[in-house]
Amino acid sequence: MGAVIIVDALWGDSGKGKVCAHLARRDNVQLAVRAGIGTNAGASVTLDDGTHIRARQLPTGWLNPSTNVAVGPGVLIDPTVFADEVERFGLAGKVFADGRSGIIAPEHVTLDRTDPHLVETVRTTGSGTGPARADLVLRKAQQAKDVPALGEYLTDVPRLVNETASTGTVLVEGSQGTMLSLSLSSDYPFTTSGNCTSAAAMDDVGLSWQRVDDVVMVVKALPTRSGAGPLPFELSTDEVAERAVVEYGVVTGRQRRKAAGIAWELLEYAAMLNGPTQIALTFCDHVDPAVRGVRAFDEISEPVRELIRRVEEVTKAPVTLLDTGPRLGDLIDVPVLAQS
């Protein structure tokens, strides 16, 4: 019983949606709820049959058939994106939204895509989340309760989350990454429009700290960053291609910038901020292609084992999930005896 928060250590795109889907299936959880800013960050999951799932508004926990999903009141809702995902994923009767969530309107998207500072300096995703959040702070934005099309989905999500966590398991899927946090990153203005920590995720969904059982911090073996801002150990586009580790953003389709390794001082800072109890180490096949698709821990190579040891040393938390390839089944549970 209780809540499990899934949070990204660095700049996002680390596989939080994959982790959410895996845990929902493994533990047959009752509810997965989306935290984060809005629709400016996407999640993608590739099933073992090759089906590719892309989402921007709803958490991926619905990939377990008995898991309901919700959007927290601190998360902005784009009614068009919301409706598309409900229909595309067949979630009628299984999805909830909070009437207090702010709304991303068409004018917010237009502003996000035309404002010179946002487009040229920040290199925003153009989803409208920044302008919508600004209007919400100014108390000018609509809320979900003002949109008739959302009426059938509305409930008190914080009450749903806390009551469910008192008798079962709730997954809280964060978005983006700790080092993109508006108030905690040193990279302003190259940040998102809110914070992306475990505490922020709790706030986004109205979760009491007393209901938190675990914080799973997702660490990407070779970090990436979308948009502008510093990226330690950044590889050139030619180097990325030579290593065959090219990635593209879910929302923008832009090629992600890729690092040659983890900035350990930033990872330590992220661990301090988030207080992880577990680590999900993802994209390990980008460090050592020999482990691509490996699904048994005893077949993991020494370079990846060394990375596990270093990550555990820096974060002071055990690596409990290990990602070795693009498919959902490539995310494996690390045996307890193998955890430091």
Q: Is 174 part of any known ligand binding site?
A: no
How high is the pLDDT of residue 338?
74
How high is the pLDDT of residue 340?
59
Angle, to 10 degrees, between the axis of helix 302-315 and the axis of helix 264-274? 50
CATH of the domain at 297: 3.40.440.10
Q: Determine the number of helices (DSSP H) and then strands (DSSP E) in the chain.
A: 10, 14
* Catalytic residue, candidates 13, 78, 112, 204: 13
Domain range for 291? 2-338
Angle, to 10 degrees, between the axis of helix 157-167 and the axis of helix 198-205? 110
Q: Phi and psi at residue 318, in whole multiples of 5°?
A: -80, 145
Helix (H) or strand (E) holding 34: strand 31-34
How many domains are there within the chain? Answer: 1
Q: Is 339 part of any known ligand binding site?
A: no
DSSP secondary structure string, 183-245? TT-SSTTSS-SS--SHHHHHHHHT--GGGEEEEEEEEESS-EE-SSS--TTBPPHHHHHHHT-
Q: Is 155 part of any known ligand binding site?
A: no
Using DSSP, state whether 122 is helix, strand or coil: helix
Q: Is 255 part of any known ligand binding site?
A: yes
What are the CA-CA distances from residue 291 to residues 7, 51, 224, 304 (Å)? 24, 22, 20, 8
Q: Is 278 part of any known ligand binding site?
A: no
Q: Are strands 43-46 and 52-55 parallel, antiparallel or unpaired?
A: antiparallel
How high is the pLDDT of residue 252?
73
Q: Is 13 a catalytic residue?
A: yes
pLDDT in tens, the chain (340 residues): 899 999 999 999 999 999 999 999 999 999 999 999 999 988 999 999 999 999 999 999 999 999 999 999 999 999 999 999 999 999 999 999 999 999 999 999 999 999 999 999 999 889 999 999 999 999 999 999 999 999 999 999 999 999 999 999 999 999 999 999 999 999 999 999 999 999 999 999 999 999 999 999 999 999 999 889 999 999 999 999 999 999 987 777 789 999 999 999 999 999 999 999 999 999 999 999 999 999 999 999 999 999 999 999 999 999 999 999 999 999 999 998 777 5
What are the CA-CA distances from residue 71 to residues 80, 126, 299 (Å)? 14, 21, 38
How high is the pLDDT of residue 339?
76
